[in-house]
């Protein structure tokens, strides 16, 4: 929505919450949160304008929730980094999901799956609450990587910021098993050079894989007509998985410039001993490290020497770095709203729908 009114941007004068309970905050086009935001508008359609932003809509008194979606033009739903939608629904049925949409129980994300649970006095984000000096805001975050900060904003002004895990425990104080996220990434190499990665297996030798999060990107095109060729677009897929491994196929092309990441990856949520091995295997290569080494820092390597395609195991965060819970007393008057946003150290974001105060 961030474009100027009259150039595909939103016209707030015609906004009707009965038909538009949710509005897109993040997509391939950019981030529409505010004038200056995490993802600028670089599309051929032009830059963003303050009157087309989410926070401007709330300032005008509109009540709506936020969404994220890739709007991807190369036939790759969920292309990593271009936007995701989270919804708190009572079940996974169509009816329950639509009910949650209309109740505005939603949040937007850039790419990493960040579970953001925000309640005010026991009511979900998106709710309407009465004025009170005794509201309590509760925030529960399960992030996709280390959290940089969690912001609380009231009427678009920052009123509180948490910085989780400012001090981490020494290795001797780590638990017997560590609940963490393991992000493996493939790509790099000469600009635009295609590499087919087949039967890539990531796994652990002890412990359990609790969930698997593909972080696959579609090919970057602005117009669908720009990408018409015979190579296809949906080039990455998980082909097998077990309790301690996942196997996938993908295609990478060397990064087109120094600021555009064209790599592919996968993230494993695991619970495992810090001395147990984490490994990756692909046709022509393999690597392994004890988890404790990845908790210390990321590891990377080249597949065939200088300027060849490369791999990277990202740093594995300790639980207190990516899981966060807190509460905050707040006072709300008629017309106020309060919302929460999360930033990770890898510049992945989540934005929650506000709770609105109306008499």
pLDDT at 224: 59
pLDDT at 312: 98
Burial call 115-151: b when 16+ CB within 10 Å, e when fewer: bbbbbbbeebbbbebeeeeebebebebbbbbbbbebb
pLDDT at 40: 84
pLDDT at 209: 98
**Mean pLDDT of residues grouped by 10 in the chain (359 residues)?**
63 89 91 87 76 93 95 78 95 98 98 98 97 98 98 98 85 92 97 95 98 92 60 84 97 92 97 98 96 97 94 97 97 98 97 96
pLDDT at 51: 86
| CA terminus-to-terminus distance, the chain | 29
H-type helices in 35-93, by residue range?
Answer: 54-59
* Residue 94 backbone dihedrals phi, psi, to 5 degrees: -60, -45
In the predicted model, what is the mean pLDDT of the chain? 92
pLDDT at 50: 86
Q: How many CB atoms lie within 10 A of CB 207?
A: 20
pLDDT at 222: 64
- Are 330 and 134 in contact by the 8 Å Cβ rule? The answer is no
Proportion of the chain above pLDDT 70, given as a percent: 93
- Are 217 and 79 in contact by the 8 Å Cβ rule? The answer is yes
Model confidence, pTM: 0.93
* Residue 63 backbone dihedrals phi, psi, to 5 degrees: -110, 110
pLDDT in tens, 136-189: 999 999 999 999 999 999 999 999 999 987 778 888 889 899 999 999 999 999
H-type helices in 192-329, by residue range?
Answer: 291-296, 319-322
pLDDT at 228: 56
What's the CA gap between 282 and 249, in Å, rounded? 10
């Amino acid at each position: 929505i961030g474009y100027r009114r009259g150039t595909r941007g939103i016209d707030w004068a015609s906004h009707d919450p009965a038909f538009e309970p949710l509005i897109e905050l993040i997509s391939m086009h950019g981030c529409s949160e505010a004038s200056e935001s995490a993802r600028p508008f670089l599309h051929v359609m032009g830059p963003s304008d303050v009157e087309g932003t989410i926070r401007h809509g709330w300032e005008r008194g509109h009540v709506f929730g936020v969404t994220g979606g890739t709007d991807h033009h190369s036939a790759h739903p969920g292309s990593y980094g271009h936007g995701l939608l989270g919804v708190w629904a009572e079940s996974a049925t169509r009816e329950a999901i639509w009910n949650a949409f209309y109740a505005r129980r939603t949040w937007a994300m850039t790419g990493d799956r960040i579970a953001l649970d925000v309640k005010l006095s026991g009511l979900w984000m998106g709710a309407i609450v009465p004025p009170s000096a005794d509201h309590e805001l509760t925030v529960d975050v399960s992030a996709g990587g280390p959290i940089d900060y969690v912001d609380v904003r009231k009427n678009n002004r920052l009123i509180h910021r948490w910085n989780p895990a400012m001090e981490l425990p020494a290795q001797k104080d780590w638990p017997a098993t560590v609940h963490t996220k393991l992000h493996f990434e493939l790509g790099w190499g000469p600009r635009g050079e295609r590499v087919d990665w087949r039967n890539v297996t990531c796994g652990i030798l002890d412990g359990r894989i609790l969930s698997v999060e593909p972080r696959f990107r579609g090919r970057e095109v602005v117009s669908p007509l720009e990408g018409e060729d015979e190579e296809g677009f949906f080039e990455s897929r998980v082909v097998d998985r077990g309790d301690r491994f996942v196997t996938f196929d993908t295609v990478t092309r060397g990064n087109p410039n120094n600021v555009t990441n064209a790599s592919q990856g996968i993230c494993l949520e695991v619970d495992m001993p810090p001395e147990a091995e984490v490994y990756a295997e692909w046709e022509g290569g393999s690597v392994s490290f004890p988890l404790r080494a990845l908790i210390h820092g990321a590891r990377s390597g080249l597949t065939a020497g200088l300027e060849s395609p490369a791999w990277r195991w990202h740093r594995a965060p300790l639980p207190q770095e990516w899981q966060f819970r807190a509460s905050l007393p707040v006072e709300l008057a008629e017309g106020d709203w309060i919302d929460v946003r999360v930033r990770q150290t890898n510049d992945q974001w989540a934005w929650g729908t506000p709770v609105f105060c109306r008499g």
